[in-house]
Amino acid sequence: MRAAVVKTFGGPEAVEVVETEVPEPGARQVRIKVAAATLNPVDAGVRGGFFGGAGKQIGFGWDVAGTVDATGVATAWSVGEEVVALDPGMVRPLGTHAEYVVVDTDAVAKAPATVDAVHAATLPLNALTAEQALELLELEAGQTLLVTGAAGAVGGFAIQLAAHRGLTVTALAREGDEELLRSLGAAHFVSGTAEAGAYDGVLDAAVLGGTALEWVRDGGAYVGVRPGGHPEPVRGVRSTAVAVTADGARLAKLAALVDEGVLTLRVAETYPLEEAAKAHARLDQGGVRGRLVLVP
Ligand SMILES: NC(=O)c1ccc[n+]([C@@H]2O[C@H](COP(=O)([O-])OP(=O)(O)OC[C@H]3O[C@@H](n4cnc5c(N)ncnc54)[C@H](OP(=O)(O)O)[C@@H]3O)[C@@H](O)[C@H]2O)c1
């Protein structure tokens, strides 16, 4: 099968599409025939060597939508079922940017029924991250949340999931993003900066750090997206960061929210797997709204 990997860290030109063995599922694993897989900021970090692994072949891709193609022992899935999954890992020989991927059974969920695989592939990583970040914030209905980087994939899901929980959401994004973010459920919109000490919680998807923590009220909560890179707590503000984990049961609930119209799946462009390097180059340019999706 073909798979996109990096062997020598670098820019988009470092992305290689190689021929490799189709992986076999072990116990409590399934093999998915990949229909679509998204490209995320973490893949650019992997490509540049941010997470280490020099001298190894490292596969790209965490998100997948596709069809169960083979099962190991002790799996509840059957061949032919349409699924989505999160396959996290900074340094491993193969990821989801491939024709087939083997994932743990408990990372898998039934795909949403109302969207195609290209859209479904945009769900796992960033909706799970947004949901797990909201859990860390521990806010209650009626409280206020500021989401930075709100037009991004994590930010967009965070707005929708927070509004669904009854939070009053302020989106912080680029000037041109206001209409989009209000359509996702943001009650308020700011660009550039926000009011100091005004919010019960901040989800900092734009990685603004200490600046964003200043927007949290005394005793509120800050959640970042770089584990270990969150700012020091001040004024009694709790400061932590989300580190997404695979969770098939939670992913199934998020897929149901897609089918109920609560979550919007946003695709920017699709690329054939062979053109993975082109997709990386587009990601590096910035300003992408919706996800870039690879189709093997
Ligand atoms: N810890 C975890 O488990 C985890 C999981 C998933 C993602 N992440 C991280 O979370 C972050 C967000 O991911 P993503 O996929 O949502 O990225 P994304 O789609 O690129 O979104 C980031 C958004 O932030 C915007 N932005 C950046 N600086 C800004 C500023 N000063 N003011 C307003 N908007 C600004 C960007 O706008 P432009 O495009 O115009 O620059 C973009 O819309 C990334 O750093 C990613 O690596 C962490």
Q: Which backbone phi and psi does 230 adopt, to 5 degrees? A: -80, 155
Instruction: State whether the beta carbon of 152 lies less than 6 angstroms from ligand 1.
Output: yes
Q: What is the pLDDT of residue 216?
A: 98
Instruction: State whether the beta carbon of 172 lies less than 6 angstroms from ligand 1.
Output: yes
| 206 Cα: distance to centroid of ligand 1 (angstroms) | 5
Question: What token pair was written down for 224?
Answer: 């970042």
Instruction: State whether the beta carbon of 145 lies less than 6 angstroms from ligand 1.
Output: no
Instruction: State whether the beta carbon of 41 lies less than 6 angstroms from ligand 1.
Output: yes
Scanning the structure block, which residue is given the tokens 């797997």?
A: 273
Same domain, 232 and 174: yes
Same domain, 134 and 232: yes
Q: What is the pLDDT of residue 266?
A: 98
Same domain, 78 and 131: no
| DSSP structure class, residue 127 | H
CA-proximal residue: ligand 1, atom 35 (nearest): 149
| 220 Cα: distance to centroid of ligand 1 (angstroms) | 22
| 69 Cα: distance to centroid of ligand 1 (angstroms) | 33
Same domain, 26 and 60: yes
Instruction: State whether the beta carbon of 93 lies less than 6 angstroms from ligand 1.
Output: no
Same domain, 75 and 115: yes
Q: What is the tens place of the pLDDT at every residue in 251-267?
A: 999 999 999 999 999 99
Helices (H) and strands (E) in the chain, counts: 8, 16
Instruction: State whether the beta carbon of 90 lies less than 6 angstroms from ligand 1.
Output: no
Residue 70 is assigned to a structural domain of this protein: yes
3-state secondary structure of 32: strand
Q: Domain tally for the chain?
A: 2
Residues of the chain predicted below pLDDT 70: none
Do the bridges between strand 15-19 and strand 2-6 make them parallel or antiparallel, or are there none, so unpaired? antiparallel
CA-proximal residue: ligand 1, atom 38 (nearest): 287
Convert 261-276 into a string of H (helix), E (strand) and C (coil).
Answer: CCCCCCEEEEEEHHHH
Q: Which domain holds residue 226?
A: 125-241
Please report the atom of ligand 1 found closest to the CA of residue 45: 47
| 27 Cα: distance to centroid of ligand 1 (angstroms) | 36
Instruction: State whether the beta carbon of 46 lies less than 6 angstroms from ligand 1.
Output: no
**CATH number of the domain bearing residue 235:** 3.40.50.720
**CATH number of the domain bearing residue 7:** 3.90.180.10
CB atoms within 10 A of CB 106: 16
**Which of 276, 142, 127 has its CA nearest to residue 205?**
127
Same domain, 97 and 143: no
Q: What is the pLDDT of residue 201?
A: 99
Q: What is the pLDDT of residue 221?
A: 98
Same domain, 119 and 8: yes
Q: Which backbone phi and psi does 118 adopt, to 5 degrees? A: -60, -45
Instruction: State whether the beta carbon of 40 lies less than 6 angstroms from ligand 1.
Output: yes
Contacts of 50 (CB under 8 A, 6+ apart): none
Same domain, 159 and 105: no
Q: What is the pLDDT of residue 74?
A: 87
